[in-house]
């Protein structure tokens, strides 16, 4: 599938718009249109229902080591700055960037790649930020231009190594920057914290600095004690949260894949340390299955364990669920969700030490050995098992998903071009989004075949009845074939048509978007039939008592 086609459909049919488009847009920020908001809401609702409210606390589910409970939370985006100090984000959540003095452009250090090339007795490193598929052509074009050679003399270039990353380079003086035409214009890499900073209060100074959360997880850790004390949960249990997170990404790209404002769907699952490996495996498999159940194809999904040098500062083991997004080079996958074993890092960190109310929480205090002093809340965040009276700091397994990346993956997977017969039975090409019915923005469209003979009134009656439980759409304009196509293109799984036979026997046709099968059902059964068809494919995902 060509990504441009999906991007254009998203804009044309109202799934996604560039934020502030009338002012030229703002890089890394996206708005969801009337259909996009429904799709994303359905994803978040499916997640919330499947992970939190629909969870069966009383049964041992397939693959789970034991019964467990699930509850939810909704925390603020701005929290006490000390939260980010203790979580490690203030000191460690950064990327490296390089600037180009000539083009004034900024690049993420790890994303600049290129090749060594020699010509006219000079050896230089030609760098590029192009996608891998275009990289080779791009480096050749730049090398030819730099050495003032014409393309017919391309064999005068000699390539001395395969693609390497800029990170492996020590001498930036020999680098031809991605958008430069002279050597040595790139600065050495500099650290850049990804958190957005703001000031709290009208008279705020640097001492009142605060941050927009870069993950929803910390709100859960900061409320661990509140939840345990107020909701009678017992370990093992999980707390889920869905909400916005913000990261000042250096190079937002690939449509919504890497945005600066995005939504996360996170669970922090608290368990006994000695049982944590089993729970880690359970959540990896459970979350992988969730994407399969909602329609992502097995051959485009993969579970990948992180190498030790990839692990975040808190993690003792992480696996990513990855999807073969069509904008990536063939064979490459992009992260949809991370499942991390966070050990007791966060609770311990928020618990230890004590914050001095007279100091700026973000200033680093050091101990007598010059090492940074740890300053947590000083509150006891350990857990007491009421049956055994044992006290311990729980270990945490964290399945952390992105709602926007999930929406993008479901859209990529759903996009399809095939053929369907028109009213005269002639095959016509169509664009169709084969979205899972649970995720489809509109569940059914209702059409009167013609705008007369009382058909619109009957169709509107069905529309109103269905509207009580589902997002449905009424359309009486244009040939019915065109109306089907308009719905196929936005993923509506069912179309109900009222025709002259309805006047005689009160039956209507219901058409399935994917199989194109049409069957007649009683018009009074439309609501139950639509509900049955959605539920048939979309029961609570992958929760089966064993």
Residues of the shown chain interacting with ligand GAP in the complex, contacts defined by CB under 6 A: 215, 217, 247, 249, 258-259, 262, 264, 266, 335-338, 398, 400-402, 404-405
Question: 372: which residues sit within 8 A by CB, 6+ positions away?
Answer: 91, 364, 365, 366
DSSP 8-class letter at 454: T
Nearer Cβ to ligand GAP (30/494): 30
507-512 vs 518-522, strand pairing mode: antiparallel
CA nearest 538: which of 466, 445, 435, 406? 435
**Buried b / exposed e across 300-335, counting CB within 10 Å, b at 16+?**
bbeeeeeeeeeeeebbebbbbbbbbbbbbeeeebbb
CA nearest 400: which of 305, 265, 306? 265
CB of 245 to ligand GAP, least distance (A): 7
Contact 481/518 with Cβ under 8 angstroms?
no
- DSSP-assigned beta bridge partners for residue 246: 261
Helices (H) and strands (E) in the chain — how many of each?
14, 28
**443: number of CA atoms within 13 Å, CB side?**
23
CB of 389 to ligand GAP, least distance (A): 32
In order of 184, 457, 480, 496, the CA distances from 451 in angstroms are 70, 9, 11, 15
CB of 404 to ligand GAP, least distance (A): 5
CB of 178 to ligand GAP, least distance (A): 21
Helix (H) / strand (E) element for 445: namely strand 444-448
Nearer Cβ to ligand GAP (28/437): 28
In order of 461, 462, 471, 510, 527, the CA distances from 468 in angstroms are 12, 10, 8, 19, 9
Alpha helix stretches (DSSP H) within 106-198: 132-146
Nearer Cβ to ligand GAP (146/345): 345
CB of 260 to ligand GAP, least distance (A): 7
Tokens for 64, please give them: 């789970």
Nearer Cβ to ligand GAP (72/184): 72
CB of 221 to ligand GAP, least distance (A): 10
Nearer Cβ to ligand GAP (115/405): 405
CB of 197 to ligand GAP, least distance (A): 17
The count of other CB atoms within 10 Å of the CB of residue 362 is: 16
Nearer Cβ to ligand GAP (38/266): 266
Alpha carbon distance 384, 256 (integer Å): 43
CB of 171 to ligand GAP, least distance (A): 32
Nearer Cβ to ligand GAP (247/341): 247
Nearer Cβ to ligand GAP (89/511): 89
In order of 213, 215, 250, 273, 335, the CA distances from 27 in angstroms are 19, 20, 10, 42, 21
Nearer Cβ to ligand GAP (50/404): 404
Nearer Cβ to ligand GAP (37/149): 37
DSSP 8-class letter at 373: P
The dihedral over CA atoms of 406, 408, 413, 416, expressed in degrees to the nearest 10, equals 150
Nearer Cβ to ligand GAP (135/266): 266
Counted residue by residue, the chain has a size of 546
CA nearest 176: which of 193, 192, 157? 157
C-beta nearest to ligand GAP: residue: 402
Nearer Cβ to ligand GAP (264/542): 264
């Amino acid at each position: 599938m060509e990504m441009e086609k999906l991007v254009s459909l998203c804009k044309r049919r109202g799934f996604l718009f560039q934020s502030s488009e009338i002012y030229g847009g703002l890089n890394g920020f996206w708005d969801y249109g009337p259909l996009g908001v429904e799709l994303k809401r359905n994803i978040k609702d499916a997640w919330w229902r499947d992970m939190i409210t629909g969870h069966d606390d009383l049964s041992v589910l397939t693959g789970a080591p034991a019964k467990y409970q699930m509850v939810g939370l909704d925390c603020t985006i701005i929290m006490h700055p000390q939260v980010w100090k203790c979580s490690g984000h203030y000191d460690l959540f950064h990327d490296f960037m390089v600037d180009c003095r000539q083009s004034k452009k900024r690049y993420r250090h790890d994303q600049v790649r290129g090749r060594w090339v020699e010509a006219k007795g000079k050896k230089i490193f030609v760098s590029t930020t192009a996608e891998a598929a275009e990289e080779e052509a791009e480096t050749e074009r730049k090398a030819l231009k730099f050495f003032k050679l014409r393309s017919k003399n391309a064999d005068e270039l000699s390539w001395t190594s395969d693609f390497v990353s800029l990170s492996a380079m020590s001498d930036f003086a020999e680098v031809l920057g991605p958008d430069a035409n002279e050597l040595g214009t790139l600065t050495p890499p500099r650290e850049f914290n990804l958190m957005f900073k703001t000031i709290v209060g009208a008279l705020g100074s640097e001492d009142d600095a605060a941050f927009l959360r870069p993950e929803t997880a910390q709100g859960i850790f900061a409320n661990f004690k509140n939840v345990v004390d107020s909701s009678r949960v017992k370990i093992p249990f999980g707390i889920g949260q869905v909400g916005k997170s913000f990261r000042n990404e250096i190079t937002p790209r690939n449509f919504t894949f890497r945005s600066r404002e995005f939504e996360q769907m996170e669970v922090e699952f608290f368990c006994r340390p000695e049982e944590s490996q089993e729970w880690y495996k359970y959540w990896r498999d459970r979350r992988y299955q969730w994407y399969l159940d909602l329609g992502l194809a097995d051959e485009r999904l993969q579970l990948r364990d992180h190498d030790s040098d990839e692990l975040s500062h808190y993690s003792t083991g992480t696996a990513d669920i990855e999807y073969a997004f069509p904008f990536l080079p063939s064979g490459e996958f992009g992260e949809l969700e991370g499942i991390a074993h966070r050990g007791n890092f966060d609770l311990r960190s928020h618990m230890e030490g004590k914050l001095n109310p007279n100091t700026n929480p973000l200033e680093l205090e050091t101990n007598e050995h010059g090492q940074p002093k740890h300053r947590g809340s000083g509150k006891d965040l350990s857990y007491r098992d009421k049956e055994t009276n044992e006290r311990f700091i729980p270990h945490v397994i964290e399945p952390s998903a992105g709602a926007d990346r999930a929406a993008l993956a479901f859209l990529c997977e759903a996009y399809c071009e095939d053929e369907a017969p028109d009213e005269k039975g002639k095959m016509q090409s169509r664009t169709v989004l084969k979205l899972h019915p649970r995720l489809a923005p509109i569940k059914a469209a209702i059409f009167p075949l013609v705008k007369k003979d009382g058909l619109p009134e009957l169709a509107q009656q069905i529309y109103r009845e269905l509207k009580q439980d589902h997002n449905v759409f009424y359309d009486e304009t244009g040939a019915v074939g065109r109306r089907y196509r308009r719905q196929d293109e936005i993923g509506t799984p069912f179309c109900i048509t009222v025709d002259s036979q309805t006047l005689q026997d009160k039956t209507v046709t219901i058409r399935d978007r994917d199989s194109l099968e049409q069957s007649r059902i009683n018009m009074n059964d439309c609501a139950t039939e639509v509900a049955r068809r959605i539920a048939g494919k979309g029961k609570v995902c992958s929760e089966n008592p064993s």
